[in-house]
Structure 1
Amino acid sequence: MALDEKRAWITAVVSACGYVVYLVIVLSRAAGDVPLADVAYVAPLLWTVGAAIVVTIGIGIATGLASPREAMRTDERDREIDRFGEYVGHSFVVIGGVATLVMAMAETAHFWIANTVYLMFALSAIVGSVARIFAYRRGFQQW
């Protein structure tokens, strides 16, 4: 397995787990009479994003150190797959940007805007990584 494919797996798993942890924390705080939009979400959001970044980098470094030299080589196909994954992932960032722009113009609560941005960033990382994994596993046609 190429190192880039391993990194895609790491990013997909860590991003999904980080977002699920965030959801569990925020939704558990909304139990009772507290409306969801009034839940303290900033600290859990920052901590889960920060932890996901640190864990992704740490596991990526450990994987790179444990991989044989041959797995670290990249070729044109690897670069094209990475570019393909970036294109797929960035589409969710654009969708999220447009959605949050509309939400801001509609004066939606900050909670919903921030959570939409986080969801789209998480989806960008997860779907972009899944696209890379799919391209490695099923083949990739350059156009």
Structure 2
Amino acid sequence: MSSEEKRTWISALVGVVVPIAYLATVLSKVPGTDVASIAYVEPMLISIGVGIGAAIVLAIVSAMAWPKDADRTDERDREINRRGEYVGFYVMSIAAIAPLALAMAKAEHFWIAHALYLAFVLAALVSSVVKIVAYRQGW
């Protein structure tokens, strides 16, 4: 398994675990509460920071565990990365319609922010899945 594939698996893992933890924490407060009163900004920023930090730390740990291929990237890795990012871009472009529509409908900032957060999460996960499938099925 190449170092790029390991980083893709790390991104997918972090991209699932961190948003689920965040959404379970914040969305558990929604029932019976006015969403305008829910303090979501700080937890969302912490979630984003933890996601970035965890991905970096886990990539470093992976590179330390398998140092011989830590910085090797070949044409196949670059093409798989390009394809995954390309698909992720289109997913984000389509998913961004939801927060835009919510803003136009004058929805609460809570829902707009979460729709945008989910759009980013969805794009990252789809990008990772496309890359993993490309690595697993051969390129």
TM-score normalised according to structure 2 size: 0.91
SS at match of 1:74: coil
- Check 1:88–1:29 CA distance in 2 against 1; reply closer, same or farther (3 A cut): same
Structure 2: distance between partners of 1:94 and 1:24: 26
Cα deviation 1:44-101 (Å, max 9, x = unaligned):
1111111010000011111112214245321111100000110111122212333222
Structure 1: distance between partners of 2:98 and 2:69: 43
Equivalence for 1:128: 127
SS at match of 1:29: coil
Q: Bigger shift: 115-124 or 89-98?
A: 89-98
Structure 2: distance between partners of 1:116 and 1:93: 11
What amino acid maps onto 1:65 in structure 2?
Answer: M
Q: Bigger shift: 97-106 or 83-92?
A: 97-106
TM-score normalised according to structure 1 size: 0.88
1:57-76 matches, cutoff 5 A = 57-70=56-69, 72-76=71-75
Aligned length: 139
What amino acid maps onto 2:131 in structure 1?
Answer: R
State the 1:12 CA deviation. Answer: 0.5
What amino acid maps onto 1:92 in structure 2?
Answer: V
State percent identity of aligned pairs. 47
Q: Bigger shift: 89-98 or 7-16?
A: 89-98
Equivalence for 1:2: 2
Equivalence for 2:106: 107
The answer to whether the 8 Å contact 2:3/2:69 transfers is no
SS at match of 2:96: helix
1:76-91 matches, cutoff 5 A = 76-91=75-90
- Provide runs of 4+ in structure 1 moved above 4 Å: none
Q: Which runs of 5+ in 1 are unaligned?
A: none
Equivalence for 1:48: 47
Structure 2: distance between partners of 1:29 and 1:103: 21
RMSD, aligned α-carbons: 1.6
What amino acid maps onto 1:30 in structure 2?
Answer: V
Structure 2: distance between partners of 1:70 and 1:7: 12
